[in-house]
Every structure is written in structure tokens, then in C-alpha cells.
Structure 1
Amino acid sequence: MTEQLPSSVQDFTQTASVAWNDTATRRAWWRQTVRSLLVVGLCAAWWVWYAGTTVAVREQVVLLTIAFFAYSAFGVPLQLLAELPNAWRVRRLLRAHPWQIAEDPPRGVSDHPKARDVSAAWFEVPDPAAPERQVPLISRAPLWWVRRMKPDAPAERRAQIARLWYCGLPGDEVVIAASRAKERAPRRLRHQYLRHSLLPEHAARTDVPLPHPSRSALSHPPTARTVRRRLVRLLIVLVLVWPAVLTMQIAVVAGGDSDKVGLFALALLFEVTLLPFHVFLIVANRRMAGTLAGHPWRLVDCEIRSRGKAQLIHVGDRTLLPPPHTQLGAGVTQLWIAGHPHRRCVVSVPGGARPVRVAMSTTDNTPT
């Protein structure tokens, strides 16, 4: 493994193959994995014991019950959905690639020029294939890493990531770990996907023909099918689901069964919170259809970046914001647009089959 490390770094693991052969690495992986399993097992054991105990005993452990309830609601899903899958992915890469080590590499928590997400954290490390060239490792780092990567972080925290361990494919996925400068064992093993974190270096080609400018965007068959399908789904739910909820409430009231008051309250909660949102989606879909009916599709060059979970679409000197949790794709460099980008408009990936209503960002655009 020594020949793959930067020339100024020693081979601490004393192995000539993959990182998993290093005893300290396996110990660090087992420590993290067993900790997650213990947390899940302890919560499961508590609730099994709690279900079989008496009311008198339960009254004596109220505070513990509240603590276990809070952690079971937030901590256990975190372990099952994040930490344990992370451990499996870490092990997969450690068994296939050797460690690379970088001493105090350049790092930051935002604004890397090549990052698709402007708020993503990053390291710059030597490329394993060409150590004289620096490559960025850009990803959404956990809070523990971010606190130590900030420029104003205390020296003690920065010292905990003075030595960066990484293995894998810098352009696809890697495992990163950290240690102090004099430590020879990695800590905090994290798997990171990098394949969609960089801006594309070359514009993506599209061979989809653009509709004639004299035709409205809504007359384009793929666009019309998508808009119609979305509206039909919303109307079906409006006509079938909500009347069923109302019927259930009427049945509860007519039956006079006090034991089903909770069911009535739950249905009322759904109506108060979700029904207005459902109506809003129908109105928004109709407005998007109106925009598409009044404007043709136009092809524009764009650059798509992110800020956290929100995407930023740069078209010329304007920045457009799609709805939350809407992703237009990682390698898109051209879009179809209908409407005026200075106001609300509709964009789609080339082909027109995924129309999305966007608004001009009020924080990223300077007034003209």
C-alpha cells in the first residue's frame, strides 16, 4: 500500500493490500457497528421488559420511559436507517481498496468552486492515480465533521482531523476517517457518495427535438400527458379519499360511541392539515398548465447547483428555485423553459416530460 500514499506519508497499517487487512481499521469498524447494535438492542430490550411489567413498576420508571421513548423515536431510526447501512458500505469499500492518507489537507464547509451543492463540506486530497494532482472530496458531512472543519473551530477540534484517511474511488464513492497527527488508527469511519457532488466538466448532449416556437408548451404530447396525469391523480384523491374520511367522521358521531372519539379527532387532524395542502396542489397544477398553454418551450443553457436540499437553477444572470424536494437531475446543463424567467415560469429537462414550476430567487438575484 505504501506506493499509493503521498510520498511524505508513512504506511502506518503495514499492509500491502486492502484497508480491511489492517487490525486497527477492523477494530474501529467493529467499535462503531457494535455501538449501533447495542443501542438498538437496548431499546428493544427495554420495551420488551416494559410490556411485561406491572403498572406499579411502570409508575416508578416514568422518567426512564420518557427517555427511552424519545431515543426510540429519533435515535433508533438513525441507527437503523443511517449508521448500520453506513457500516455495511464502509466494510464493502475497505475490503476492496487500500487506505490513502493526507496530512492536514485543505478543507472547508462550503463554497467549493467545483461543488454542485454550495453548502457541501469538502477536502482536497492527492489523487491516488496522480499524487501531484489534488482532487476534491465533496459531500454533506455529518455535524461532527463540520464542527471540526470550520475555519474558526478551536485548535483542539481541528487537531482531531489533522490526519485524513480515505479509500475508494474519489470520483465515485469513498470512505473517510480521521485521526490526530500522531495516531495510527482511523476513527469516525464514514461512507460518502461523490458521484453527483461535482459540477459536470462537459455539457451534456441532448438530441431531443425542441417543439416549434409557434406551438404552446402544453400542446407538446409528453408535457400534456404529465400535466393531465398529475391533475387526474389529485382529483381522484379529492373525490374518493376525503369523502371517505368525512363519512367515517359522520359514522362515529351518529353511533355515539365515545371509544371512537380518538378516530374522529385523527380524521379531523388530517382534514385540517392535509386538505388545504391538497387543494393548493390542485391550484398550483392548474396555474402551471396555464403558463404552459400561453408560452412555447425554449432551450436554455443552465447550471444546477444546490444549497442544502434545495436546488438552484442558474439561467443567465437569474437564479430560479424549484419547489422543495424537487430534483431535476445531477448532470443537466440544458433545460426547456416556458414563460419569463423574471417571473414564475415552468422548466423541464429536455423532452418536456417533467415540467416543474419555478420562481425567481429573492436572495440570489440582485435587483435591476
Structure 2
Amino acid sequence: MPPAHPLTAWDDPSTRRAWTKLITCAIAGQVIWPVVWVGLLASYVSMSITWTLWLFFIPMLYAFYRTLLQPAYVTWALRTRRLLREYAWQVFETPESGIGRMPDMTAGDVWLSFPHPERSVEMVPVVLRVHIRSAWWRRRLGRGFSTEKTAQAKTVWFAGDPCFAGVIAVPGPRRLYVIHQPPSYGKSMSAALVS
């Protein structure tokens, strides 16, 4: 007898393993980057040689930046889990994508189009905002020509509602990344994903 409810992406053990890797890296970074920053600062203070400041300045600055940035990775990992528990994976072969050229997008924003859940003829673009974690996706989507890198994202898994938010991944799943509609990000997405 078929299940009463369709399976969600979270019901797949490989999805849970991919998410566990994502949250483990986020939490490890939450511990490692502050330790690196404090360690570099302590090394500099103990050496107390003025010219060594230039050796420590850039790594210390980057470690401090990552220390401040890391809580966002944990938050996004938790939002990813919430979406994966709600929606099933859908597989799309070479989904339509592009760079910029859409309202409310900057020149560097990459977008993907997925079918509207209620009107399958209509396509809904969803944005991958410029962010350090989106670099892998941005190098592979929206170029309009085929390369070895674009072939890595030829098949895209999507779990979510393109009118709101979702998680994209390459088959496996790997490279989990949350994408969203620009207007929903500030108000509806945070309210819905935090509740």
C-alpha cells in the first residue's frame, strides 16, 4: 500500500548525510575560526616584533571575518533542514538559468527557473544571491555555454516551492544550497522558517 503522504527529501538517508556534513562544517567553523583568530593574536602579542604584524594582519583579519560570519552558516543549515523536511526532491535536467537580467537582481546574481507549482506552464525564476557559499553554483549556472564545469550542474535537484524558497543540490545530493524569492526573503521566509 502506498504511503499516505509523499516522501520528503529528508526521508532519503543520503540527504540526511549531506545535511549532517553541512551542519558539521558549520559548527566546526563556529569553533575553529575563533580559535584561529585568538591563536594568531596570541602569537603576535608573544612575539612583540612590530614587523611581524604584516605576517599576522591578513590571516587575523580573515579569521575575525569568518568568526563573525559563521553563525549565519549554522542558521542557513537549520533552514535547509526545515525545507528538506517539508518538500520532496524534484529532478530537473539542464534547468533554464542566467546571470542578472531580471527585476530586483544585481548584475552578478544567478537565477534558475522552475515550473510554477500550480501552473506548470509558467516558469518561476529563483535567485542565488552573490555569497561565498554560492560561488560553486555561480561558476556552473547561467553561462549559456557548455563547459566541463557547467556539466557538473546539468542535473539539479530541487526541494521546495519556487514561489517562496527551496534547496538545490547536484545528484547525490551534494552541494546543498538555499535559494529564495527576493521579496519573500526579508519577511515571509524568516517567519516561516523560524516558526
- TM-score, normalized by length of structure 1? 0.41
The residue correspondences of 1:249-328 to structure 2 (distance < 5 A) are none
The residue identity in structure 1 corresponding to 2:69 is L
Q: Select the structure that is richer in helix.
A: 2
SS at match of 2:139: helix
> SS where residue 185 of structure 1 aligns?
coil
Answering whether residue 139 of structure 2 is matched by residue 147 of structure 1, we say: yes
Larger Rg: 1
Partner Cα separation in structure 2 for residue 51 and residue 137 of structure 1: 42
**With CA pairs under 8 Å and 6+ residues apart, which has the higher RCO, 1 or 2?**
2
Q: How does 1:66-77 map to 2 (within 5 A)?
A: 66=57, 68-77=59-68
Is 2:104 the counterpart of 1:116?
yes
Q: CA deviation digits over 1:18-55, x for unaligned, max 9?
A: 11111111111121222222223122334555677782
1:70 aligned partner, one-letter code:
L
Distance in 2 between residues matched to 1:50 and 1:165, nearest whole Å: 41
Displacement after TM superposition at 1:65 (Å): 4.4
Shift of 1:192: 2.4
Q: Which letter maps to 1:20?
A: W
Query: Which letter does structure 2 place at the counterpart of 1:117?
Result: M
> One-letter code of the match for 1:110?
G
> Number of residue pairs matched?
174
Deviation at 1:57, TM superposition (A): 10
The 8 Å contact of residues 33 and 66 in structure 2, kept in 1 or not, is answered as no
Tell me if 1:191 matches 2:178: yes
Provide the residue aligned with 2:154 in structure 1. Answer: 162
Question: Do the aligned partners of 1:102 and 1:126 also contact (CA within 8 Å) in 2?
Answer: no
Counterparts in 2 of 1:45 and 1:149: CA distance versus 1, 3 Å: same
1:254-285 Cα deviation digits (max 9, x unpaired): xxxxxxxxxxxxxxxxxxxxxxxxxxxxxxxx
- For structure 1, which runs of at least 5 residues remain unmatched after alignment? 1-14, 198-368
Q: Are the counterparts in 2 of residues 102 and 164 from structure 1 also a CA contact under 8 Å?
A: yes
In structure 2, what is the equivalent of residue 78 of structure 1? 69
| Structure 2: stretches of 5+ with no match in the other structure | 185-195
Distance 1:139 1:38, change over 3 A: closer
Kindly provide the CA deviation profile for residues 186-221 of structure 1, in whole angstroms up to 9, marking residues without a partner as x: 222222231527xxxxxxxxxxxxxxxxxxxxxxxx
What SS class does the counterpart of residue 36 from structure 1 fall into?
A: helix
Contact (CA 8 Å) 1:139, 1:194: kept in 2 or not? no
Q: 1:17 to 1:133 in 2, by over 3 A?
A: same
Q: 2:188 matched to which residue of 1?
A: none
Task: State percent identity of aligned pairs.
Answer: 29
C-alpha distance after superposition, 1:139-174 (max 9, x if no partner):
425333222224266611101211112122211122
The residue that corresponds to 1:103 in the other structure is: 93
